[in-house]
Structures are given as structure tokens and as C-alpha cells.
A and B are shown apart, each in its own frame.
Chain A
Amino acid sequence: EPEVTQTPSHQVTQMGQEVILRCVPISNHLYFYWYRQILGQKVEFLVSFYNNEISEKSEIFDDQFSVERPDGSNFTLKIRSTKLEDSAMYFCASSIRDEQYFGPGTRLTVT
């Protein structure tokens, strides 16, 4: 069964460094998303991407964040200058219509 994959599973970085989180959505899906979950809290929407552009973004998704679909398969989230409060699990999701299927997540730890 097709699934969303994410790499790396765990990333440790120092405050101020740039990180890129990678996702491979399900191949025939059209919509792509990033969410985050701070430890023990609820899942929060960051951004959605459709037709090679951002279709929605939340207040969390400020200028420090950017997304890209550099080729036909990958979907990336870049955080330019990480802060301690960026430490969270980051989930990528994709959908063809309404059900969003999530990847296993990347745990980002900012020290």
C-alpha cells in the first residue's frame, strides 16, 4: 500500500542553523501539507501546497519557514534559523481529495 515517507526520522540541530525536512508524498496525490506537534500537544497545521504553490498557511508559518517541491516526488520544509521552540515532531501529509495521509514524522530537536 502506498505511503508517505519522511527523512530523517530524527534531526538534531543547533539554534540558528538551517534544517530541511524531506517528504515523499503518495505518488498520485495532488495536495501536500506540513503539520507539527510539540511534544504532548495537539497537531497544528503549518502549510498546504497545491499546483506548485502555497494554498494555505497558518500564523505559525512565518518567514522562517519555506516549502518546495524541487522535483516530481519530494516535498521539503525548510526552517532558516531554528529556535528552541521549533523542537517538535513534523508531519508531512498528502491527499488526492479529502483524506490526508500522514508520514511517520521527523522529530526535530533544537539545542
Chain B
Amino acid sequence: AQKVTQAQTEISVVEKEDVTLDCVYETRDTTYYLFWYKQPPSGELVFLIRRNSFDEQNEISGRYSWNFQKSTSSFNFTITASQVVDSAVYFCALSERDTGRRALTFGSGTRLQVQP
């Protein structure tokens, strides 16, 4: 069965520090998608990125970057030069697609606190 593990429950950094949020997943499917969502204190879930299982290229978007490694079943998320506005809970999620399922399986989330 599919599983997403975010071992870091809470991380606290000082503004301008770089921080990496870890995500390890388990699936038997060969086709799957990985996602990151941000949940700020206001509570909504904000889509950040989607990656499919056939695309291991790392991606950079501004201060955000993602490192997908199938060999270690990991999809880690790095924030460079963190800012107070980055404070939120970040969820990694998996969608298995061999049988056409679309349900997202979420990890338990990592709470990031960026101190000024």
C-alpha cells in the first residue's frame, strides 16, 4: 500500500537560512505523481509542485527547489533564504496512477517556523 513519510515534525530556522524538508514515499506503482502543498496558518492548502515518476529532473522555482530521487524514493523540498512568510505546514503527497487512481495520500506534514 502507498505511504508517505515526513519524518521531520517541526523545523525552526532563522530568516535567511536554507531549509530542506524531507519526504520519503512507498508505492508499488510504476506510474505515480508526487506533490507538495503548503498550509499557512490561515488553513488553506496551496499547491506548490507536481512531479511524475518518469521525470527525475530537479526543479527550481524562485527560492524553492525540489530534488526527486527514485533510487531512494525521496522527494525533498528546499527553501533557500527562508522568510517569515514561509512559516507554514508543508505536506508531501502521492497519487498512484497504474490503476487510474487519483486520490492523494498525504504525509503527516512538517511544520516550518521561520523566526525573524
Contacts and interface: CB of A to CB of B under 8 A. Distances in A.
Nearest to A57: B103
Contacts of B52: 98
Interface string A80-109: 000000000101010100111111110000
Interface stretch (B15-23, B55-63, B105-113): B105-113
Contacts of B33: 98
A100 B102 CA distance: 9
A35 B107 contact: no
Contacts, number: 56
Given A89-B43, A100-B47, A105-B44, A43 B103 contact: no
Contacts of A42: 91, 106-109
A14 to B, nearest CB: 24
B104 A91 contact: no
Contact of A104 (B44, B50, B105): B44
A66 interface: no
Interface string A31-60: 101010000011111001000000110100
Contacts of A58: 103
Nearest to A55: B102
A107 B93 CA distance: 22
B101 interface: yes
Nearest to A41: B108
Contact of A31 (B44, B50, B93, B102): B102
B108 A100 contact: no
